[in-house]
Amino acid sequence: MNTTTPDSPAIEVRGLRRRYGRGTTAFEAVRGLDLEVPRGSVTALLGVNGAGKTSTLEVIEGLAPASDGEVRVLGLDPIAQRADVRRRTGVLLQSSGFSGELTVRETLQMWAGLVSDPRPVDEALAMLDLADRGGVRVRALSGGEVRRLDLAVTLLGHPEVVMLDEPTTGLDPESRRDVWRLLQQLRDQGTTILLTTHYLEEAEVLAEHVSIMAAGRIVKAGTPAELAEGHPSTISFATPDGVTLPPLEAQVAVDGATTRIETLELQDTLTDLLGWAARHGVRLEQLDARHASLESIFLAVADETSHHRAAAGDPASLEGATR
Ligand SMILES: Nc1ncnc2c1ncn2[C@@H]1O[C@H](COP(=O)(O)OP(=O)(O)OP(=O)(O)O)[C@@H](O)[C@H]1O
């Protein structure tokens, strides 16, 4: 991890461990985590509450030391070379610490004073759709507006790498989509983005790489398509009256007025189904066919992990799954 080339990952983590406390009360929140974030990509770190996402991000951000393992950001050690790393990265924490008395514009001006070559404040305001809120005191902003101000501050210094802990929590659906567009633009301009989110659609829309964490470890990682392998696709339609479906090599369930078919061979099953419907003149109302969503994959992984840990007698299995 000591040499950097233009192709080397923007973030590299090897064998990361992070412990809180000491002695008998010590708790290991990160338990040997490996992660690579390629340059110019969006990587999403997913996991149930308490999986260890923030504990991991804080070490990568240089805000906390690792108990063990190695972290490099742009080839640099985020603690030993903190100043260099901070200059080239933007960090969005889960909660901000702005003064409520300053206006939005004053807040951005203050933070711009701490960054070399900052974006003009008006540009930062416009990027986060805050142009008409510049004169408003921070304490009068809505939660979603504070989040957008936080993002504007994060992006002030044209960071090469941004690390965002739940960037769109508290935003309404329209603002969330605006932020997605902004992050996509930044990625297209070459910015590397590592984010955590509980919105699986967000990861689905934005991320080329997804890593799912459970109990301090990465339990699944890959592109969304790689993660979907082995997870069934779903076909659904309004159950037609008075007809019996043909035998299909798939799992069929009639749930109220809807028939749901789960299959690992979406094209073959759909071909069989539509061929049968055409031959028998059956109209399949509300027909829908879709690949496994990240949500169904995530839930399957969370469920599997919880069961494994419960079987191993780990009390944290229930803790993580229910909080
Ligand atoms: N300062 C601390 N002292 C002791 N334990 C902590 C501390 N901070 C976090 N933890 C524990 O470490 C574990 C991981 O927490 P962390 O905040 O990293 O999870 P997370 O995946 O980010 O969760 P969330 O999705 O809720 O933000 C949790 O069990 C949490 O209670």
CB atoms within 10 A of CB 305: 23
Cα–ligand 1 centroid distance for 50 (angstroms): 5
**Distance in Å, CA 216 to ligand 1 centroid:** 10
pLDDT of residue 72: 97
Question: Probe ligand 1: pick from 55, 56, 211, 309, max atoms within 8 Å of CB?
Answer: 55
Which of 24, 25, 27 should be mutated for ligand 1, with most atoms under 8 A from CB?
Answer: 27
pLDDT in the model for residue 320: 39
- Nearest Cα residue to atom 5 of ligand 1: 20
- Give the integer Cα–Cα distance in Å for 190 and 39: 7
Rounded to the nearest whole angstrom, what is the distance from the C-alpha of residue 47 to the centroid of ligand 1? 12
DSSP, residue by residue, 146-198: HHHHHHHHHTTT--SEEEEESTTTT--HHHHHHHHHHHHHHHHTT-EEEEE-S
**Global ipTM:** 0.97
User: Tokens standing for 10?
Assistant: 């923007």
The predicted structure's pLDDT at residue 302: 80
CA of 173 to the centre of ligand 1 (A): 27
pLDDT, position 15: 97
- Give the residue among 11, 49, 37 at the shortest CA–CA distance from 214: 49
pLDDT at 244: 87
| Ligand 1 pocket at CB < 6 A | 20-21, 27, 29, 47, 49-55
Cα(52) to centroid(ligand 1), Å: 6
pLDDT of 250: 87
Mutate to test the pocket of ligand 1, among 16, 18, 53 (most ligand atoms within 8 A of CB): 53
Two tokens at 5? 């080339």
What integer pLDDT is reported at residue 201 of this predicted model?
Answer: 92
Q: For the chain of 323 residues, list the mean pLDDT of each consecutive stretch of 10.
A: 75 97 92 97 95 96 96 97 94 90 97 93 95 97 92 96 95 92 94 96 95 95 90 93 86 90 94 94 95 88 76 52 33
**Helices vs strands, H then E, count in the chain:** 11, 13
Question: Which residue's C-alpha comes closest to atom 30 of ligand 1?
Answer: 50
